[in-house]
Amino acid sequence: MSKTSLSGFPEWLPEGRIVENYVLEKIRQGFELHGFANIETRAVEPVSELLRKGETSKEIYLLRRLQEDPVKAAEDPRQIGLHFDLTVPFARYVLENRARLNFPFKRYQIQKVWRGERPQDGRFREFTQADIDIVGDGELPFFHEVEVAVVMARVLSSLPLPPVHIRVNNRKIVQGYCEALGIENVEGALRALDKLDKIGPGGVASEMEELSFSTKAQEKLLQMAQIKGDGSTVRSRIQELQVSSELLEQGLDELTQLLDQASRRVPGLVQADLSIARGLDYYTGTVYETTVEGHENLGSICSGGRYDSLATDGKRTYPGVGMSIGVSRLVSRIISGELATASRKVPSAVLVAVTNEEHREDSNKVADALRERGICADTAPKAAKFGKQIKAADQRGIPYVWFPDSSEVKNIITGEQVQADPLSWKPDEQYLVPQVTANN
């Protein structure tokens, strides 16, 4: 990543951008293979809509004209801000287009979002997200919660990353468990448990103490939150805690069903972790978080869940389930951790040498003939000695140099040099476009 004077706004070098484009294309391919249609929404939304996520409102970037009175702008109910995720804009999009959409509606969306938080490793103020959501009209069968996990497991496994682990829970388990313990402040419990990985059991217990939870309730919640494993393990461990409720049982049934189906379709990639709570209050069923093996300090690189009432027009409700990949977070780690390497810095497969400036037009004709056949080509910037022109190609990772005076092309990687016609010659497939190779 190149250095910028503004922190939190990543700018990749050309080879980093090639890696990013590779990642984005893999994500697009994976989503489309599973039937998700692409949409794009506007970058801004009314602040009143963005505030629906509660505490995240502190991170909103507001938009106003330079000459506008800041006091009046703050009081204007039409005030707008940059979206900080793609879920709130998508909910609005569904409501506005519900008469023209086919339900269940499966969409994917890859766009930039903005958050005014403190930049740190893997966290930016401007970054790219890649979301999938499945939304129903009035109802959405549970099997879509399995589908979303399977799609994301396959997509993430196609990227140049170490193994990923999608950890799942069901909010009904936590809510039912709290109800059985007589805990009324369920949202407080969820928000505290969601920090378990960051602040540990002691920190979570302290937060629960501040919420006036009894010592027994704290112990029971922490015991539940540390349960991990497959469906049978989770069920037996919950039974050992001797806590039960109808909602808890419903959540357990859904979670074990998801785990069983995922184990058959994407073996080893999805497991239960009852500490996953997702602090946002609109989740109602399955919740997901994803970590990369060996890079757990990066946090969750893909998360989401089931929501039953995020999109509603007052008469009908449009329930959905979705997950979001933090693309910039992933790409940042891939580049800084050298998890993958681009084969060259530029798209050009061929550098056409220039014998002398009087004959540059000959070089341009060769390059244009290659381009017309879909082969990326460039002409040398200077009519220097051929050795220097070959070095210029090598510095950029360009595999071929074309010599128009002799009608020969040289593969500077293998050393092979052959006679060639720009109207018929083809580069080896591996050199046609930049390749991204995983290093793990």
Is 242 annotated in some ligand binding site? no
Is 261 annotated in some ligand binding site? no
Q: Tell me the C-alpha distance between 344 and 398, whole Å.
A: 6
3-state helix/strand/coil string of the chain: CCCCCCCCCCCCCHHHHHHHHHHHHHHHHHHHHCCCEECCCCCEEEHHHHHHHHHHHHHCCEECCCCCCHHHHHHCCCCEEECCCCHHHHHHHHHHHHHHCCCCEEEEEEEEEECCCCCECCECCEEEEEEEEEECCCCCCCHHHHHHHHHHHHHHHCCCCCCEEEEEEEHHHHHHHHHHHCCCCHHHHHHHHCCHHHHHHHHHHHHHHHCCCCHHHHHHHHHHHCCEECHHHHHHHHHHCCCCCHHHHHHHHHHHHHHHHHHHHCCCCEEEECCCCCCCCCEEEEEEEEEECCCHHHCCCEEEEEEEEEEECCCCEEEEEEEEEEHHHHHHHHHHCCCEEECCCCCCCEEECCCCHHHHHHHHHHHHHHHHCCCCEEECCCCCCHHHHHHHHHHHCCCEEEECCCCEEEECCCCCEEECCCCCCCCCHHHHCCCEEECC
* The token pair that represents 246 in the structure block: 């109808």
For residue 123, list its beta bridge partners: 120
Is 115 annotated in some ligand binding site? yes
For residue 438, list its beta bridge partners: 340
Is 371 annotated in some ligand binding site? no
Is 437 annotated in some ligand binding site? no
Compute the half-sphere exposure of residue 315: CA atoms within 13 Å on the CB side of its CA. 2
Is 86 annotated in some ligand binding site? yes
Is 133 annotated in some ligand binding site? yes
CA 373 distance to own-chain centroid: 34
* The token pair that represents 228 in the structure block: 């991990």
Q: Tell me the C-alpha distance between 189 and 167, whole Å.
A: 19
Is 288 annotated in some ligand binding site? no
Is 197 annotated in some ligand binding site? no
* Residues annotated within a binding site for L-histidine: 85-87, 115, 129, 133, 278, 282-283
* Residues annotated within a binding site: 85-87, 115, 129, 133, 278, 282-283
